[in-house]
Structure 1
Amino acid sequence: MHWSAAGAPGPAAPRVPVVLVHGYNADPGVWGALREDLKAAGYADSELFSWGYDTHRSVNEVLAGQLGAYAEQVRRQTGAARVDIVAHSLGSLVARWYVSFGGGAATVNHLVSLAGPNHGTSTAWACALWDQACRDMTPGSYVVKSLAGGDETPGAVKYATFWSNCDEVINPDASVPLAGAVNTPVGCLKHNDLLGDDATSAGICAFLAS
């Protein structure tokens, strides 16, 4: 809390705005629980931004650029020099491509990957034949290999992952953790249950405050 010269509490210092990036076949509505937890931790609605996008498009050719444009819009709107990104599932690949290859390393402060297929997931083969985003999530895809080549956590960005050993979508579970990140196991949670888990939300809030 800030205090005025007269000793009365002044307005809280603005926080780094948070961009929330949902996963495959989802929409911004999945962030309801985390948004409430972030507000309970002191964030204002005006500092929380849930980005929506077409989850069937190419991660590197389309989506990362769209995320970059949205992040720039958030920076202009808020006057912030940087943004924080919290991404779930497919959104993790989009956010990481933006940071690694789209200029985001200069404008992102924290990047959180929740149950991200960071090293690919075998379940994506089920839709890879007709869906570009699914192809991007398969083990050994161009996107996965490019992001894993060299430094998985480039720049001055702080990285964290949260992963479950009961994730029915990410196979293997070890696909989520990144070299150079704070990698946190959340126990036995389903893929989408990380979005509403109190302990996971507390971990996210603590990491964003670091």
Structure 2
Amino acid sequence: MRTYISRWLFAVGVAVAAVAVAPTPAQAAAYTASSNPILFVHGWNSSASTWNTMISRFQADGWPSSRLRAFSYNTSQSNATTAQQVGQEVDKLLASTGATKVDIVTHSMGGLSSRYYLKNLDGGGKVDRWVSLGGPNHGTSSANACYSTACLEMRIGSTFLANLNSADETPGVPTYGTWRSNCDGVINPVDSTVLSGASNTLAGCVAHTSLPIDATIYGQVRNFVNP
């Protein structure tokens, strides 16, 4: 009897161990030689440090640090000016890695400058997948409380947004994805982030500043840019 129980416990232990180490769908999206380098674009009144947590998670999943690039910029200037910097950073990343395309992951206002780059600066041919986390793609009432050029462009009904969203909200060959949360608290209305032609995901209850550090959203973004 004791021998039988010992064998049963051993079998259970092996089975549990097998389950513990079995590949999961999340693990299946880890870095491969065909994975694109990623450019990260932060939002208003922020900096490249926005991405520290997400970049560390990409590194843990196999991405070399040389293929993950975040940069800081003046968030008061026009998003059209920042779009030129986005283009420069894309070119630097392509040149340093030898890749033919990059993916772009953005938070908040970073989605506007990068979309301007894709639409108006011929960036679409250099970008494979584009991500917006809590982007004010159709404006936010929160921008009524600040008065820089960038804030004026983020206001609902601004000329900048009207032009950016005219004709086709997701132009060219890149695949577009957005994430929004009903607990955002900064992007008002929340559905401002949604783009016609994009894969639009409603996340759980995540605050605006937590979107780039939420573990669940990270896994979804990683799988989106690395299908």
CA distance in 2, matches of 1:160, 1:41: 21
Whether contact under 8 Å (1:41, 1:205) holds in the other structure is no
Q: For residue 56 of structure 1, what is the amino acid of its counterpart?
A: S
Match of 1:198 among 186, 197, 215: 215
Match of 1:149 among 162, 166, 170: 166
Q: Does 1:22 align with 2:39?
A: no
Q: Does 1:84 align with 2:76?
A: no
CA distance in 2, matches of 1:64, 1:141: 17
* Residue 125 (structure 1) aligns with: 144
- Alpha-carbon offset, residue 33 of structure 1: 1.1
* Residue 5 (structure 1) aligns with: none
* Residue 71 (structure 1) aligns with: 90
Q: Which has the larger radius of gyration?
A: 2
CA distance in 1, matches of 2:62, 2:156: 39
Match of 1:180 among 193, 197, 201: 197
* Residue 155 (structure 2) aligns with: 138
* Residue 41 (structure 1) aligns with: 61
Tell me the percent identity.
40
The alignment yields a C-alpha RMSD, in angstroms, of 1.0
Q: Structure 1: any 5+ residue segments left out of the alignment?
A: 1-11
| TM-score (normalised: structure 2) | 0.84
- Alpha-carbon offset, residue 14 of structure 1: 5.2
Would you identify which runs of 4 or more consecutive aligned residues in structure 1 move more than 4 Å? none
- Alpha-carbon offset, residue 78 of structure 1: 1.1
Three-state SS of the structure 2 residue aligned to 1:159 is: strand
* Residue 126 (structure 2) aligns with: 107
CA distance in 2, matches of 1:69, 1:138: 27
Say which structure is richer in helix.
Answer: 2
- Alpha-carbon offset, residue 192 of structure 1: 0.6
Q: For residue 95 of structure 1, what is the amino acid of its counterpart?
A: S
Total equivalences in the alignment: 196
* Residue 112 (structure 2) aligns with: 93
- Alpha-carbon offset, residue 25 of structure 1: 0.6
CA distance in 2, matches of 1:42, 1:178: 30
